[in-house]
Amino acid sequence: MAALSSSSLFFSSKTAIPINNLLTPPSIHRFSLPSSSSSFSSLSSSASLFTTHSLKSSRRSSTQGFTVKAEKKNVLIVNTNSGGHAVIGFYFAKELLSAGHDVTILTVGDESSDKMKKPPFSRFSEIVSGGGKTVWGNPADVATVVGGETFDVVLDNNGKDLDTVRPVVDWAKSSGVKQFLFISSAGIYKSTEEPPHVEGDAVKADAGHVGVEKYLAETFGNWASFRPQYMIGSGNNKDCEEWFFDRIVRDRPVPIPGSGLQLTNISHVRDLSSMLTSAVSNPEAACCNIFNCVSDRAVTLDGMAKLCAAAAGKTVEIVHYDPKAVGVDAKKAFPFRNMHFYAEPRAAKDILGWESKTNLPEDLKERYEEYVKIGRDKKEMKFELDDKILEALKTPVAA
Examine residue 62 and state whether it is found in any structural domain, yes or no: no
Q: How many independent structural domains does the chain possess?
A: 1
Cα-based angle 230, 389, 321 (whole degrees, multiple of 5):
65
Check residue 358 and give left, alpha or beta (phi > 0: left; psi -120 to 50: alpha). beta
The strand order across the sheet containing 263-264 reads 10-11, 298-300, 263-264
Around 327, how many Cα atoms within 13 Å sit in the side-chain half-sphere? 7
When pLDDT is averaged across residues 110-118 and rounded to a whole number, the result is 96
Burial of residue 54, with CB atoms counted within 10 A of its CB: 0-12 exposed, 13-18 middle, 19 or more buried: middle
Percent of the chain at pLDDT above 90? 79
Around 309, how many Cα atoms within 13 Å sit in the side-chain half-sphere? 19
pLDDT at position 372 over 80: yes
Examine residue 36 and state whether it is found in any structural domain, yes or no: no
* Burial call 293-302: b when 16+ CB within 10 Å, e when fewer: bbbbbbbbbb
Examine residue 283 and state whether it is found in any structural domain, yes or no: yes
pLDDT bracket for residue 237 (50, 70, 90): confident
Task: Supply the pTM of this predicted model.
Answer: 0.84
Examine residue 153 and state whether it is found in any structural domain, yes or no: yes
When pLDDT is averaged across residues 347-369 and rounded to a whole number, the result is 98
Q: Which pLDDT score is estimated for 42?
A: 36
Q: What is the DSSP letter of 352?
A: I
* Burial call 179-212: b when 16+ CB within 10 Å, e when fewer: bbbbbbbbbbbeebeebbbbbbbebeeebbbbbb
- What totals of helices (H) and strands (E) does the chain contain, helices first? 14, 14
Q: Which pLDDT score is estimated for 398?
A: 75
When pLDDT is averaged across residues 21-26 and rounded to a whole number, the result is 41
Pairing state of beta strands 223-228 and 289-293?
parallel
| CB 200, CB 55: distance < 8 Å | no
Q: Which pLDDT score is estimated for 399?
A: 65
The secondary structure element, H or E, covering residue 312 is: helix 301-312
| CB 208, CB 162: distance < 8 Å | yes
CATH of residue 145's domain is 3.40.50.720
Beta pairing partners, 76 = 104, 154
Which CA distances in Å does 303 have to 28, 241, 307, 358, 362? 30, 12, 6, 15, 14
Q: Which pLDDT score is estimated for 397?
A: 84
Examine residue 8 and state whether it is found in any structural domain, yes or no: no
| CB 267, CB 356: distance < 8 Å | yes
Q: What is the DSSP letter of 1?
A: -
Give the closest residue to 146 by CA, choosing from 163, 134, 159.
134
Examine residue 284 and state whether it is found in any structural domain, yes or no: yes
pLDDT at position 6 over 90: no
pLDDT digits (tens, 9 = 90+) for 92-107: 999 999 999 999 999 9
Which stretches of 45-122 are DSSP H helices? 86-98
pLDDT at position 37 over 60: no
Examine residue 23 and state whether it is found in any structural domain, yes or no: no
| CB 248, CB 309: distance < 8 Å | yes
Q: Which structural domain, as residue segments, surrounds residue 357?
A: 74-394
What is the rounded CA–CA span in Å between residue 313 and residue 248? 10
Pairing state of beta strands 179-183 and 102-108?
unpaired
Q: Would you list the DSSP string of 282-310?
A: -HHHHTTEEEEES-S-EEEHHHHHHHHHH
Examine residue 158 and state whether it is found in any structural domain, yes or no: yes
